[in-house]
Structure 1
Amino acid sequence: MIENLDPKQSWAVLQTNPAAVLIDVRTAIEHSFVGHPPKAIHVAWKEFPGMQLNTGFVEQVQQHAPDKTAPILLLCRSGQRSVDAAKALEAAGYEHLINILEGFEGPLDENKHRGNTGGWRFHGLPWQQS
C-alpha cells in the first residue's frame, strides 16, 4: 500500500515509529547541497548525468531497510520521483510505503521558485546540509 502524507504528517510518523525509515530518492547533489532531513538515507532513484534510473535502487533500499513491513517514507524534490520509487518498492514486496507530498522543496510558485508554497523546509521541519 502506498500512502500519501504531507511533510508534517510524515515527520510525526518518524517521531512516533522507531521502525520507520526515511529514504531520500533525490540525486546526490540535491541531498548534499540543497539539504535533507536528519537521518534521511540517500538512495537515488535517478542520478546525474542524464537522470538515469538507478537499476540497483530496490537492492540498495533493502540494505538499509530489510524489514518489508516497516514504514518506508520516500522523499524527493516535489513528490513525483518518490511515487515512482514507492511503486518499485511495492512491486518488491514492501507493505507500508509513504510518499511525502510536496517533497523537500515543494511545487513551483508563480515565479518558478520552489520552497515558497510547500515542501519539507517550507513547513519548518528539521533539515541540514552536508
Structure 2
Amino acid sequence: MNTKTLGHLSSLEAAALLKENHEAKLIDIRTSMEFLFIGHPKESIHVAWMDDPDWEINPNFYKEVNQIQKASTNNNCPIILICRSGNRSEKAGLELIEAGMENIYHVTDGFEGELDENNQRGTLDGWRFNGLPWEQC
C-alpha cells in the first residue's frame, strides 16, 4: 500500500495488523466521554480529535499523533485511528495525510459500527460487535 494515502481497515483487519506488527498504534480519537463511558479498545491511546465543551478540532491533534509515531523504533509505525463508526477517523486520517504523515489507517466500521434499521449501533459491525478486546473505565 502507498503509505501516503489513507488506509482503510475493518476492525478485524485492524486487530490483525496490531497483532502482526507490535509497533503499530491504535489511537481512539473519540471524545473523552465516549472513551471513558462507552468503552474503548484495550491498549488504545486516547487522542481526541474534537472534544467538549467547544467541539472544535483539537489544535494539537497532529502534534500528539506525530509524537506517538515518531516515538516508535522505526519512526514510522502504522497509526490506526478509530472512532464510533469510521466517519471521524476517516476525516482525521485525511488531515494527517495532508499534513505530511505516512502510514495512517482508519477503522471503517469503528468501535460501535453502522446504524441498523432501528437506528442503533453495535448490532451490525464494529470493534465491540466483532468481539475484539475492549474495556470500560
Q: Shorter-chain-normalised TM-score: which range?
A: over 0.9
Equivalent residue number for residue 112 of structure 1: 119
Deviation at 1:19, TM superposition (A): 1.3
Q: 1:121 aligns with which of 104, 121, 128?
A: 128
Question: Quick check: 1:81 aligned with 2:88?
Answer: yes
Question: Quick check: 1:57 aligned with 2:61?
Answer: yes
Q: Which moved more, 1:54-63 or 1:114-123?
A: 54-63
Q: 1:4-33 deviations in whole A, cap 9, x for unaligned?
A: 111111000000101101110000010111
Q: 1:43-98 deviations in whole A, cap 9, x for unaligned?
A: 01111124211111011112322155211000000001101111121123221111
Q: Which moved more, 1:13-22 or 1:66-75?
A: 66-75
Unaligned runs of 5+ in 1: none
Q: State the distance in 2 between where 1:86 and 1:23 align.
A: 11
Q: State the distance in 1 between where 2:27 and 2:17 align.
A: 13
In the TM superposition, what are the counterparts of 1:11-50 in structure 2 within 5 Å? 11-50=15-54
Number of equivalent positions: 130
Q: What's the TM-score, normalizing by structure 1?
A: 0.94
Equivalent residue number for residue 2 of structure 1: 6
Q: What's the TM-score, normalizing by structure 2?
A: 0.89
Percentage identity across aligned positions? Answer: 45
AA partner of residue 39 (structure 1): E
Q: State the distance in 1 between where 2:130 and 2:43 align.
A: 18
